[in-house]
Structures are given as structure tokens and as C-alpha cells.
Amino acid sequence: MASSVWYCPLCQSEGTDGSVVFCGNDGARVRPIADRGAEWIGQVLDGKYRVVRFIDAGGTAEVFEAERLGSGKRVALKLLHAALAATSGALERFLQEAQLVSLIAHPNVVAIQDFGTLPDSVHYMVMELLDGHALSVELADGPPPVLTALRYVMQACEGLAAAHEREVIHCDVKPANLFLQREPGGERTVKILDLGIGRLFAGSAGRGLAETGIIAGTPDYMSPEQATGLELGPATDIYAMGVVLYEMLLGVRPFQDASYLNVLTKHVNEAPVWHADIAAARGVPPEAADVVLKALAKKPAERQASMLDLQREVASLARLVRGRTSALPLGEQRTLPSLEAAPQASTPATRPPASRGTPRVIAAAEKTPTPVSRGSRFRRVPLGEATGGDQEIAELAPDVYWVGRRNDALLECNAYLRVFRRRGTEMSVLIDPGPPKDFDVVSAKVAAILGSLRRLDCVFLNHQDPDVASNAAAIQQSSPRTRVICSEDTWRLAHFYGLDPQRYTAVESFAGGTMALASGHELRFVPTPFCHFRGAVMLYDPESRVLFSGDLFGGAQSRALVATSDSWPGVEMFHQIYMPSVRALALAVARVRRLEPTPLMIAPQHGSVIVGADVEPVLDALSSLQVGLDLLEPGGEDLRFVAAANEVLREFSELAGPDGARELLASYGSDGSFTSLFVLEGPAQIAAFKVAPRLALDALANEALASLPAGLRGDLQRSIRAILRQQGLEKSGPPIGRPPSGPPRSDRRR
């Protein structure tokens, strides 16, 4: 097959005849195929995006990789074709549709981050930059395995269901618009592309072929009502998804012809044929015929009632393929939230009953986790059982939710949602929405709880750091009602993320530091200057008695969301590095102690949540902890600790090999979320500590022990004890270097 040598910049058709000068479709002068997109490369669009390279072109747009000025973030920039801009009312429809799609915030829908119109009437969208390929590329090599095909369809159904809930229909569902995003470990996540854009060609759902002269969609996947220019609705996407499912299961499309007009005619008039022989040979269960042919019914009312109904039926086929009728395993539940079998109640956690007024941690026996909302992929779990998975929404207390995500880092970022309901009024506040890499998950969880991200009333920011505040701008772009609340000092820097000054309220404007809500509730602001920023402010919810503390009390490291008695070293290290002085901490703790009623749970922006009886000891310890400036001047004992640390490194090198010490030191701060504890002088020589000497030496000893095979740990422990004796440090504090109970460090989760 000859390669294309020209393309039409108006209709985007291509040709192989080099003698063609003008496009036969619209009369536009054709251009060399090598020049496609070249006029945009290097340009700065709307003062915000520098175009880097051409990626692809389709029936509606050209797609480029671009760089956002200021942040350097790489994004996908879609420039809609001139044919779209030329249609009547296109600008208004484009802006309306783009805004609707940007509000969906679903993991199976490509995220729209920005949109607008350039001075020459070219419409653009800015989206997340994906890594992978379209489903159409995979189908070019043949149909995928049956179970893989079903999983792709279930994910696509979930994303389309979220769109339909917001009255957005796709109108051009096809393999080219189902992108297979490459995930760590080789897993693929379906991302729906071009959502709502196909409908722009035909205008609103009620405008048909006779009025516009244009049919939206791709003939091979068009529903009968689409082919005849009738009113469109969710059933149109169900039909197209039925065609995609048919194609992936049988390897052919239900209607094929060299003439597009003939294909459209078949969609309207002919019944699709189910090839039972092909299905049986591929291992497709016989029940698939009923599911697929129902989706391909000529009349919209005879198809599945919704995308979620289609997803349920496809899920039942997946269970048949796997040879069982029970719920899918956990690894597949992430794409089947509405189809999971009810989990069995596990043994209740052994904990004393909560005292009156204590935020209630619901045990499994009291409340089996249930879907947050119909069709949601998230599951609400009690705080005591939460591990921080992307599928979990943890309940800290009634109507208080953890909606963040765990990134397997030393410093995890937490986002919390508080929903107030009383007398028919609902108010919602998202606390510390987190960094851009968490936006998709955080926004989707919020939407699952509230029904839509645009129902979010407020975002509260403890301070301005990117890992705390940068998602606030994206949320305001997605939700026209959301107001940002923070201190004036925080706003001075946070507004550079692109926050709307018309939707900002300073905490200083609330009399007495208390914000009264329309629901009859109140929130209290607790200023904590220089912890770790001049304008830092904690947020206290007296009804749930949860203190949202920002950076304060952060750093507790735990496999779960609840801190344990072993979490204190992480809190200590975090504060010693990032807080300025013990005086700042003492002031903050004193203000916490004045709160009435007293907090019973501390929810920090980093690390794990501090609950119940652990709150008071942490307050006591933090109020006198030497940090920052208090630790800058080393004393004689500090020098002995440095000497001891280097001796431990030398002993470790003897046991782990010549590169062992360098690899051990390089592992500190390797995940990018937390700085190293050591100031190095050469690759394997410690010159000073950034935290208290005993804490740093203890951390080094424990990491060294954890990195060794169990048979060698005893040798290193004996050496550590001897080194401490030689340096006169054996009685200067608690024992240093405890034998780990788990596997060597290389196999352990940091």
C-alpha cells in the first residue's frame, strides 16, 4: 500500500497522488505530508504552551506534545480542525462541551486540563500526556485474548458511564478513541479520548443531519439513529461499544463494505450476524451473543438501559471465561466497582470501645465496605483497615474522608474531604488537595462522594507548597463554584498556580478565627506560624474532633493509614529537617491544647493519621523537640556520633561488599520525597547529620541491619555495640540498632 504524500489542512484527508494540488473534498490547497503540524512547532500558544512536536492527526484535530511555561510540565495539546471552527455556533458548543468533559474527572477518561480559543479562531484543548497506544493499533495485529477484551470494555463502560451521568455523550466510540495507557508493571488502563468532540460536528444532541448537513461519528461504529441524523443519547454510545466488543471478540466488525454509505445502510436495516463458530474457536462463552446483540439492537430502547448495565453483563461474561461465578479477584476489581460480590466481614479489630465523642472507627463487623456511589470504582473502608490504595476512600469519622493516594514514598501526601449535612443543606471542604500527580485519583474520589467535582464548595490550603496546594487551580478550573480558603501569606505565593482571585477568601477575614457554615456547623482556624511557613494555618473540625494539621505532626511512617507506636522516629526526623525551632513548635502545640473540645485525631498532610491515645504523647514530645536552628551547632558528642556512623559504614562494607556502603547511603532520599539524613564527604563518608545525631545513627544502623541477610546481622550488631563503647555513646540514650523482623531491605517497602 502506497504511503500518503499529501494531506488537506481543512478536512485532513490524505492522498498518494503527488500531482494533486487541490483537495477534491473542499478545494483547499494540499500540503506535503511531511509538513503536517510543522507550522505550530516552536510556537507559544495563548502565552502558556510551547509546542514541542507533532504526535498525530485525526478526523477532528491535530495532537501535539507541548510544554507548559513556568512549570515545564509536558502535556498533550489538541488543536481542532478548521472545519469544526467553521460550523455555526462551534465556539460556543466547543467551550460548553470542553467544560463539561473537564468536570468528569474519571480515571478512564483522559483528563482535560485547559481549553480555549486562539486569536485565529482555532480551538484547543490541553490534556494529560499519555504513554501507550490506541486500541486500534492493538487490533491491527488481531483480536486480543477474550478476557483482555472484556476488561478493556468494562473500563471503557465505566468511563462512559461517568460521562453520561454528567449528560455528556461521546458520539464517536471506536478503537481509535480508546487509548491503552501503559502503567507500571505492564498493566493497561483504558483512557477514553475525544469525549464529546464528535458531537460538536452535529451540534447538540437534538440537531440532526437535515439541519447541519454533517453526521458525527465513524460509519463502522455508528448507531442507526446516528446514521439517519436523529436525536442522540447514551444509547448511541452503548451501540458503538457493542460494535467494539463484537470486533474484539470475533475479530471482524458486524458490518463491512468498501462504501461508507453501504455500511450506514446496513446499520439501519440489517440484523448483525453472530458467528458462533468463530466465537467457540476463540473461547468466547455462548452467552456473549445475547449481550452483544442486545447492545446492537436497532431501537435505542431495546439496548441495555445504561453503560453500567452493559458493564455488568460484560462482567458476567468475564466470570464465565474465568470458569467461576464468584466475584473477580482484587486485581480486577479496580475496573469493576459496581460488580464486586459483597466482601465477607473480617474479624473485628481488637480495640477498646470508643468513648463518647470519639471519632468512630467502624470495624468490619459493623459496616461492610460498600460502593461510594452507583458505578464508582472506589470502596469506602474503615480507617483501621485502610492501606491507602487508589481504590480506597477511608472514613476517619462520619462524613470525614481520606481521599489521597499512597505512592510508596517516605512522605506520602494526604488529602481529606469533610462533608457537612444538616437541615437539607450540604457543604463540602477539601483539605490540602495535593500535587498534580495525585489529581486524577483525588478528584475522582471527591466526585464519587459528592456526585460531581463541581459540587465541591471549598478548598482549604494549610500553606503554599506544591505538594499541598497545586491541585487547587485545576479543581477551580473544573468546578466553577469552588472557593479557596487560606491565609493571606499563603495566597501571596499560592495564587501563582493560577487560582481565581474572585474565588478566594482569607482566613483573616473570619471573626474570631471561626468560619460558620450554612449547614449550621463551624470550622476553626489555628495559625501555626513558621511551621513550616509563616502563613501556615491548621483547620479544626470541632464536631468530628479531627485536626487537619498540614505539615505539623507529619512524617509518621506506617504501612497503613493509622500511625503506630513505632511511627515516632519518622515524625521526629521530618520536624527536625523542616521546622525552624522548638519555639515555633511549642507555640503551635500550645494553641492545639487550647482547642475545645480537645482533638481526638490528628490528620497531617504527610504520613499517617494519629488517633486516640497517641495524640497526647505526640503533643508532649513535639512541644520540646529540638529542630532546625536548634541543631545547627555541633558539639563534642555530635562529632563522636559522626565517627561512630563512619565506623558502622566500614563494618557494613566488610559484610556487604565494597559497594555496599555507597549503595546504602544513596538509598536515603532516593524516592525524592524526603531529603537524606546525612551530609556526605565523598560517596561513603559522613561529615555531619541533618537531624539529631542519635536519631541519624539509629536510622543508619537499622537500615544497614535490614539490608543484610539474617545470617550476617548478628555480626553487625556486635560491631555496633563495640563502636558505641569505643566512642563512649552506649549510655547516651536508648539502644541503637534493633534486629529487623522482616526480609532484607531490598525486598522491603520503604
Q: 10 Å Cβ neighbour count for 624?
A: 10
Q: Cell 445504561 sits at which residue?
A: 306
CB atoms within 10 A of CB 63: 19
Closest-CA residue to 627 (of 553, 727, 685, 702):
553
Radius of gyration over every alpha carbon of the chain, rounded to an integer in angstroms: 30
Cell numbers representing residue 70 in the block? 513556568
Q: How many helices (H) and strands (E) does the chain have?
A: 24, 28
Range list of H helices, 231-284: 234-250, 260-269, 276-282
Q: What is the largest CA-CA distance in the chain?
A: 93
CA-wise closest residue to 564 among 612, 520, 525, 504: 612
The DSSP secondary structure of 43-71, one letter per residue, reads PEETTTEEEEEEEEE-SSEEEEEEEETTT
Task: Give the C-alpha separation, 385 to 403, whole Å.
Answer: 15
Alpha helices (runs of H) in 120-196, residue ranges in sequence order? 135-139, 146-165
Which of 614, 589, 600 has the alpha carbon at shortest distance from 396?
600
Which residues have a catalytic role annotated?
Answer: 172
Q: Residue length, the chain?
A: 750
Closest residue by Cα to residue 60 from 93, 102, 29, 35: 93
Cα(235)–Cα(299) distance, rounded to whole angstroms? 9
Instruction: Count CB atoms within 10 A of the CB of residue 51.
Output: 19
Nearest 10 degrees: Cα torsion 546, 550, 552, 554: 90
Q: What are the grid coordinates assigned to 142, written together?
A: 488481531
Q: Is 113 helix (H, G, I), strand (E, B) or coil?
A: strand
